Amino acid sequence: MSATFRGRNYYTSQNVLAAVDFDMRFTYVIAGWEGSAHDASILADSLSRPDGLQIPDGKFYLGDAVYACRPGILPPFRKTRVTVERVFAALKNMFKVLDQITFHRFDTQVKLVFACCILHNWILGWGEDEFFEEVVTFDEGETSHDVDVDACDNYAWKVKRQEWADAMWEARVNTTI
Protein backbone atom coordinates (compact mmCIF):
# COMPACT_ATOMS: atom_id res chain seq x y z
CA MET A 1 0.00 0.00 0.00
CA SER A 2 1.15 3.57 -0.63
CA ALA A 3 3.32 5.41 1.87
CA THR A 4 0.52 7.98 2.34
CA PHE A 5 -1.51 5.28 4.10
CA ARG A 6 1.14 4.90 6.77
CA GLY A 7 -0.04 6.73 9.85
CA ARG A 8 1.89 7.92 12.89
CA ASN A 9 2.31 4.30 14.04
CA TYR A 10 4.11 3.39 10.77
CA TYR A 11 1.68 0.73 9.61
CA THR A 12 -0.96 1.21 6.96
CA SER A 13 -4.18 2.75 8.15
CA GLN A 14 -7.07 4.87 7.05
CA ASN A 15 -8.23 8.06 8.69
CA VAL A 16 -11.91 8.41 9.59
CA LEU A 17 -13.77 11.62 10.45
CA ALA A 18 -16.97 11.19 12.42
CA ALA A 19 -19.52 13.36 14.17
CA VAL A 20 -21.33 11.88 17.15
CA ASP A 21 -24.17 13.11 19.29
CA PHE A 22 -24.26 13.13 23.08
CA ASP A 23 -25.96 9.72 23.01
CA MET A 24 -22.72 8.38 21.44
CA ARG A 25 -24.37 7.70 18.08
CA PHE A 26 -22.62 8.43 14.81
CA THR A 27 -24.40 11.19 12.89
CA TYR A 28 -21.81 11.62 10.12
CA VAL A 29 -18.94 9.41 8.97
CA ILE A 30 -16.42 9.84 6.17
CA ALA A 31 -13.91 7.02 5.76
CA GLY A 32 -11.17 6.15 3.32
CA TRP A 33 -8.64 8.92 3.81
CA GLU A 34 -5.01 7.82 3.94
CA GLY A 35 -3.57 7.35 7.42
CA SER A 36 -1.11 10.22 7.02
CA ALA A 37 -3.86 12.74 6.18
CA HIS A 38 -4.25 15.41 8.83
CA ASP A 39 -7.62 15.62 10.56
CA ALA A 40 -7.99 19.31 9.66
CA SER A 41 -7.60 18.51 5.95
CA ILE A 42 -10.30 15.85 6.15
CA LEU A 43 -12.62 18.25 7.99
CA ALA A 44 -12.04 20.99 5.39
CA ASP A 45 -12.83 18.53 2.59
CA SER A 46 -15.95 17.31 4.36
CA LEU A 47 -17.24 20.84 4.93
CA SER A 48 -16.70 21.69 1.24
CA ARG A 49 -18.73 18.74 -0.11
CA PRO A 50 -22.39 19.26 -1.06
CA ASP A 51 -23.26 16.07 0.85
CA GLY A 52 -20.64 16.69 3.52
CA LEU A 53 -20.88 17.75 7.13
CA GLN A 54 -23.42 20.56 7.43
CA ILE A 55 -23.20 22.97 10.37
CA PRO A 56 -26.35 25.10 10.78
CA ASP A 57 -25.82 28.85 11.15
CA GLY A 58 -25.31 29.85 14.75
CA LYS A 59 -24.53 26.28 15.80
CA PHE A 60 -21.25 24.46 16.32
CA TYR A 61 -19.76 21.04 16.82
CA LEU A 62 -17.55 20.29 19.78
CA GLY A 63 -14.45 19.16 17.92
CA ASP A 64 -11.46 17.06 18.77
CA ALA A 65 -8.50 18.80 20.37
CA VAL A 66 -6.50 18.60 17.12
CA TYR A 67 -8.85 21.06 15.39
CA ALA A 68 -8.44 24.81 15.59
CA CYS A 69 -11.15 27.10 16.94
CA ARG A 70 -13.15 28.26 13.93
CA PRO A 71 -16.76 29.14 13.15
CA GLY A 72 -18.81 26.00 13.60
CA ILE A 73 -16.03 24.00 15.31
CA LEU A 74 -15.25 24.43 18.99
CA PRO A 75 -12.41 22.23 20.27
CA PRO A 76 -12.06 21.45 23.96
CA PHE A 77 -9.31 22.75 26.16
CA ARG A 78 -6.32 20.41 26.24
CA LYS A 79 -6.49 17.39 28.56
CA THR A 80 -10.32 17.26 28.59
CA ARG A 81 -12.21 14.09 27.82
CA VAL A 82 -13.95 13.99 24.48
CA THR A 83 -17.09 12.00 23.66
CA VAL A 84 -15.90 11.06 20.19
CA GLU A 85 -12.74 9.48 21.62
CA ARG A 86 -14.91 7.34 23.89
CA VAL A 87 -17.10 6.35 20.96
CA PHE A 88 -14.13 5.27 18.84
CA ALA A 89 -12.69 3.30 21.76
CA ALA A 90 -16.02 1.52 22.18
CA LEU A 91 -16.27 0.91 18.42
CA LYS A 92 -12.79 -0.64 18.27
CA ASN A 93 -13.53 -2.76 21.35
CA MET A 94 -16.77 -4.00 19.83
CA PHE A 95 -15.36 -4.64 16.36
CA LYS A 96 -11.78 -5.86 16.67
CA VAL A 97 -11.42 -5.89 12.88
CA LEU A 98 -11.12 -2.09 13.05
CA ASP A 99 -8.15 -2.19 15.40
CA GLN A 100 -6.08 -4.85 13.65
CA ILE A 101 -3.86 -4.90 10.62
CA THR A 102 -6.23 -5.94 7.89
CA PHE A 103 -5.70 -7.97 4.76
CA HIS A 104 -8.92 -6.85 3.11
CA ARG A 105 -8.91 -4.78 -0.05
CA PHE A 106 -9.11 -1.06 0.63
CA ASP A 107 -12.66 -0.60 -0.67
CA THR A 108 -13.73 -3.40 1.68
CA GLN A 109 -11.93 -1.72 4.59
CA VAL A 110 -13.90 1.50 3.98
CA LYS A 111 -17.18 -0.44 3.86
CA LEU A 112 -16.24 -2.20 7.11
CA VAL A 113 -15.94 1.18 8.86
CA PHE A 114 -19.41 2.24 7.69
CA ALA A 115 -20.93 -1.14 8.57
CA CYS A 116 -19.43 -1.10 12.06
CA CYS A 117 -20.70 2.47 12.68
CA ILE A 118 -24.20 1.45 11.58
CA LEU A 119 -24.12 -1.64 13.80
CA HIS A 120 -22.81 0.48 16.68
CA ASN A 121 -25.81 2.83 16.36
CA TRP A 122 -28.19 -0.14 16.14
CA ILE A 123 -26.72 -1.73 19.27
CA LEU A 124 -27.15 1.55 21.16
CA GLY A 125 -30.79 1.72 20.13
CA TRP A 126 -31.74 -1.92 20.52
CA GLY A 127 -29.14 -3.79 22.52
CA GLU A 128 -26.86 -3.58 25.50
CA ASP A 129 -23.14 -3.12 25.30
CA GLU A 130 -20.49 -3.40 27.98
CA PHE A 131 -17.95 -1.30 26.06
CA PHE A 132 -19.44 2.12 26.79
CA GLU A 133 -18.21 2.40 30.34
CA GLU A 134 -14.63 2.81 29.13
CA VAL A 135 -13.30 6.36 29.41
CA VAL A 136 -10.50 7.43 27.10
CA THR A 137 -8.46 10.61 27.02
CA PHE A 138 -6.77 11.78 23.85
CA ASP A 139 -3.10 11.32 23.24
CA GLU A 140 -0.94 14.14 24.62
CA GLY A 141 1.14 13.96 21.45
CA GLU A 142 -1.71 15.00 19.16
CA THR A 143 -1.11 18.43 17.75
CA SER A 144 -2.22 20.41 14.74
CA HIS A 145 1.30 21.43 13.71
CA ASP A 146 1.07 19.63 10.35
CA VAL A 147 -1.39 22.08 8.81
CA ASP A 148 -0.53 25.70 8.17
CA VAL A 149 -3.94 27.27 7.55
CA ASP A 150 -5.99 25.55 10.24
CA ALA A 151 -3.23 25.35 12.83
CA CYS A 152 -3.99 28.80 14.24
CA ASP A 153 -7.13 29.16 16.31
CA ASN A 154 -9.71 31.59 15.08
CA TYR A 155 -9.25 34.27 17.74
CA ALA A 156 -12.94 35.17 18.05
CA TRP A 157 -13.93 31.55 18.65
CA LYS A 158 -11.07 31.01 21.05
CA VAL A 159 -12.26 34.02 23.09
CA LYS A 160 -15.86 32.78 22.92
CA ARG A 161 -14.81 29.33 24.20
CA GLN A 162 -12.98 30.96 27.13
CA GLU A 163 -15.98 33.20 27.92
CA TRP A 164 -18.30 30.18 28.03
CA ALA A 165 -15.88 28.27 30.24
CA ASP A 166 -15.58 31.25 32.60
CA ALA A 167 -19.38 31.65 32.75
CA MET A 168 -19.84 27.96 33.56
CA TRP A 169 -17.18 28.15 36.25
CA GLU A 170 -18.75 31.27 37.75
CA ALA A 171 -22.21 29.66 37.75
CA ARG A 172 -20.78 26.56 39.47
CA VAL A 173 -19.00 28.63 42.11
CA ASN A 174 -22.13 30.70 42.80
CA THR A 175 -24.31 27.60 43.25
CA THR A 176 -21.89 25.93 45.68
CA ILE A 177 -21.52 28.89 48.03
pLDDT of 143 reads: 40
pLDDT of 68 reads: 80
pLDDT of 69 reads: 83
pLDDT of 5 reads: 52
User: pLDDT tens digits, the chain, 177 residues: what are they?
Assistant: 455 555 455 556 788 888 888 888 899 999 888 877 888 888 989 999 999 999 888 888 888 777 888 888 888 776 665 677 788 888 888 898 888 777 788 888 889 999 999 999 988 887 765 555 544 444 444 443 344 434 456 788 788 888 888 888 787 766 655
pLDDT of 49 reads: 92
* pTM across the whole model: 0.62
pLDDT of 39 reads: 84
pLDDT of 135 reads: 40
User: What is the 3-class SS of the chain, one letter each residue?
Assistant: CCHHHECCCCCECEEEEEEECCCCCEEEEEEEEECCCCHHHHHHHHHHCCCCCCCCCCCCEECCCCCCCECCEECCCCCCCCHHHHHHHHHHHHCHHHHCCCCCCHHHHHHHHHHHHHHHHHHHHHCCCHHHHCCCCCCCCCCCCCCCCCCCCCHHHHHHHHHHHHHHHHHHHHHHC
